[in-house]
Amino acid sequence: MTTNGATLSAPLGLLAELTHRCPLGCPYCSNPLALDKRDDELDAATWERVFREAAGLGVLQVHLSGGEPVARRDLPEIVRAAREAGLYNNLITSAVGLTPSNLATLSDAGLDHVQISIQDSEEGSADHIAGYKGASARKRAIAREVVSLGLPLTVNMVVHRANIGRIESMVELALSLGASRVEIAHVQYYGWALKNRAALMPTREQVDEAVRQVEMLRARHHGQIVIDAVVPDYYARFPKPCVGGWGRRSLNVTPAGRVLPCHAAEIIPGLEFWNVREHSLADIWRSSPAFLAFRGTDWMQEPCKSCSRRDQDFGGCRCQAFLLTGDARAADPVCHLSPHHAVVAELAADRKDAAYAYRTS
């Protein structure tokens, strides 16, 4: 089956944003600046239906995220529904709000994996970044609890100018907590991160050193911990294959039920998103205007249209193309073939040690 010149593939992953509520204020939060309200959140029964429909479409993994998913009192019910639908379920949490007892309840409900964010290996700095005093100590305690329950733990560390020099100690911390996997994720500049870009952006030298550190640490800890790194794309020559291609591998459901091809897609003007309250997930995946807009390659302009990498990086990120060039159909300007590529270097050079604009709800 084809839509817009693309073979319609089965999605692999569903990002379920259960709520936008969160106790932390991280200045790089990927949530939109305008957050969904608590009263608009989908109830557990609707999530249960969405999970069944997702499994029917071929989705294998569901990422229970937010905001802070633990802010939902009915989270055990939601975890159980995901497991019963046959999905591999991954809790993406700040760990603030989790206790040993509610963690055990979630584990019994069928959780497969837990990912905890840690802001820095230095506790004072970590709490400053999160905008929450005592967050770091609580995260470490819950991380140990996850491991003691026998659940696999990933530690996610978002890297930016304030902590980029401590990648080695952050990986050592993840190891000491018993994590089997660590994500070194350089900030991606959307939402709150875009607002704080000048305060977060590292220098090219720092990024090069960070890449060397990750290579060294991978060799040192080979077989002990898996180190995945998300590259900082403002300093790249080619764009990232954002979400593995628009409408090709994954979908994102917002707290209020809108289905997006990626979590930032709502910043692109003129896209029409369908809601799970009104449509089945299969219908949305196949026919919703937002998914059709950039699926496949028919929408491309030059230099993407005739590029040999067009099926490899899919023109990069549509949101970034829009944010930095004003045209969502343009090549992601991170690509050195983009006529707007110089803009990226200019923006990366704009660094100011200003106070963070913390995410607020």
Partner 1 sequence: MDGPDGQVSDGARQRLPRGVRLTHNESQGGWVLLAPERVFKADAITAEILKRCTGEATLAAIVDDLAATFAAPRERIHADVAKLLAGLAEKKLLELG
Least spacing, CB of residue 227 vs partner 1, in Å: 11
Q: How far is the CB of 249 from partner 1 (least distance, A)?
A: 10
Q: Which two tokens stand for residue 149?
A: 């329950």
DSSP 294: T
Give the Cβ contact number of residue 61 at 10 Å: 17
Pick 126 or 179: Cβ nearer partner 1: 179
Nearer to partner 1, 35 or 158 (CB): 158
Of the two residues 240 and 258, which places its CB atom closer to partner 1 in the complex? 240
Structure tokens at 303: 């230099």
**66 SS3 class:** coil
Q: How far is the CB of 20 from partner 1 (least distance, A)?
A: 22
Site for partner 1, rule CB under 8 A: 10, 12, 57-58, 60-61, 86, 88, 90, 112-113, 115, 150-152, 154, 180-181, 183, 222-223, 226, 228
Nearer to partner 1, 208 or 228 (CB): 228
What's the min distance (Å) between Cβ of 9 and partner 1? 9
Kindly tell me which of 112 and 168 has the beta carbon lying closer to partner 1: 112
- Give the nearer residue to partner 1 in terms of CB position, either 115 or 121: 115
Distance between the two ends of the chain, CA-based, in angstroms? 42
3-state DSSP percent of the chain in helix, strand and coil, to 5? 40, 15, 45
User: Tokens 């978002």 correspond to what residue?
Assistant: 158
CB of 322 to partner 1, least distance (A): 27
**Minimum distance of partner 1 from residue 11's CB (angstroms):** 9
213: three-class secondary structure by DSSP: helix
Residue in 28, 26, 30 with CA at minimum distance from that of residue 130: 26
How far is it, in rounded angstroms, from Cα 120 to Cα 143? 14
